[in-house]
Homo-oligomer: A and B are copies of this chain.
């Protein structure tokens, strides 16, 4: 008996519980009837709430969710762990893909709270993702055309809460933001513009 059913109102509080629950334990939380009714905007908000979890942990606020196209069940999710795991490249997308494990990503859609970096964009097309939905092309952008050229469907579905959250983080911790994109080498050797 899951506690989220077709009569449950979707709210940020409910989506936050989904974000925090380990993926393989989600069936204890919600039944298929509830989760099938979640919209693309709901999945994007879950990605943004994963980003919020990371921000509260002192990390970079970027999250991602992967769903099965046919069942619309969540098969992977995660957030950036640069700080939390002392991890030089675990971004929102890589974290969600690691969580999903060895599945066929050609049957899935990935929702990311922020436009993917070069590494994540390359990983997304090399793993044959069917579709990527981007929640923020305001704070970053640029690899959407690369993904489309490689056969990945790309949709933009901006989430204003996520955009505001990332802008706040970038203003507060510019060095951490730069390290996350380009590594400590870039922080130690800033390029003259």
Q: Is the CB of B123 within 8 A of A102?
A: no
Complexed CA–CA distance, A185 and B36 (Å): 24
- Contacting residues of chain A (86-134) with chain B, CB-CB under 8 angstroms: 86-90, 94, 97-98, 100-107, 117-119, 122-123, 126-128
Complexed CA–CA distance, A65 and B53 (Å): 33
Q: Which residues of B contact A182 (CB under 8 A)?
A: 126-128
Our pick among B87, B104, B119 for the contact of A183 (Cβ within 8 Å) is: B104
How many A residues, CB 8 Å from partner? 34
Q: Is the CB of A102 within 8 A of B179?
A: yes
- Contacting residues of chain A (53-109) with chain B, CB-CB under 8 angstroms: 82, 86-90, 94, 97-98, 100-107
- Tell me whether A8 is interfacial, beta carbon within 8 Å: no
Complexed CA–CA distance, A102 and B185 (Å): 10
Our pick among B82, B118, B189 for the contact of A122 (Cβ within 8 Å) is: B118
Complexed CA–CA distance, A88 and B124 (Å): 11
- Tell me whether A2 is interfacial, beta carbon within 8 Å: no
- Contacting residues of chain A (38-61) with chain B, CB-CB under 8 angstroms: none
In addition to A106-B185, A126-B181, A127-B183, 5 A-B residue pairs with Cβ atoms within 8 Å of each other are A87-B101, A87-B102, A88-B100, A119-B122, A128-B182
